[in-house]
């Protein structure tokens, strides 16, 4: 079974302070039993797998730890102190490739289809409609490749989701 999700979104709430949550994530990353490396800049985290566990389809986690700006709103269901939001996505180079592949093949498909049908309306011979069909098949092939890659990265995506939940639920780290 396939899914059409592109970048799973993360939205966690916790009663820990921003500093405690970031300290929790740092301690998880610094522990010997993890498989992550991260860049932490103020309240932003970019978490990747270590090189030995990384493959072409390995996902990346981007998180932002901020104060829950709606905690004092009487209409919100979340009164927690801190909001952890982010997304899990493929590496930027893979993401860029698929975006350009879809856009490029889509534009070529439309161009060939418009030119081919206009020639057909003018009773001129054309094979461009068949080339447009080839572009459509290439778009389907790119989609299947993206679903295959997403399936290969599913186990690592689950590890990243567990990482997010573990850091949001731990007690504050005392150093």
- In terms of Cα–Cα distance, which of 106, 158, 144, 162 is closest to 4? 144
Largest CA distance in the chain: 80
| pLDDT tens digits for range 56-97 | 899 999 999 988 776 666 656 667 778 899 999 888 889 899
Q: pTM for this one?
A: 0.76
* Same domain (yes/no): 86, 15: yes
- Count the domains in the chain: 2
Clarify whether residues 100 and 25 are in a common domain: no
pLDDT number for residue 12: 86
Same domain, 82 and 23: yes
Is 81 a domain residue? yes
What is the torsional sign of CA 142, 143, 148, 154?
positive
CATH number for the domain that contains residue 61: 3.30.310.80
Statement to judge: residues 78 and 16 lie in one domain: yes
Give pLDDT, residue 52: 87
pLDDT category of residue 17 using cuts at 50, 70 and 90 = confident
| Over residues 121-127, mean pLDDT | 89
**Domain span at 103:** 96-145
Task: Tell me if 174 is assigned to some domain.
Answer: no
């Amino acid at each position: 079974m396939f899914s059409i999700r592109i970048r799973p979104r993360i939205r966690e709430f916790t009663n820990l302070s921003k500093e405690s949550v970031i300290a929790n994530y740092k301690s998880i990353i610094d522990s010997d039993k993890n498989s992550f490396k991260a860049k932490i800049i103020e309240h932003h985290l970019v978490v990747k797998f270590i090189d030995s566990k990384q493959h072409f389809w390995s996902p990346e986690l981007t998180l932002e730890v901020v104060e829950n700006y709606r905690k004092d709103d009487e209409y919100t269901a979340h009164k927690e102190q801190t909001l952890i939001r982010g997304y899990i996505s493929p590496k930027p180079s893979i993401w860029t490739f698929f975006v350009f592949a879809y856009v490029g093949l889509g534009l070529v498909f439309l161009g060939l289809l418009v030119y081919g049908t206009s020639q057909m309306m003018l009773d001129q011979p054309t094979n461009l409609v068949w080339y447009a069909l080839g572009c459509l098949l290439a778009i389907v092939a790119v989609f299947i490749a993206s679903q295959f890659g997403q399936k290969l990265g599913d186990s690592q995506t689950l590890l990243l989701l567990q990482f997010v939940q573990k850091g949001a639920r731990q007690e504050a780290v005392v150093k």
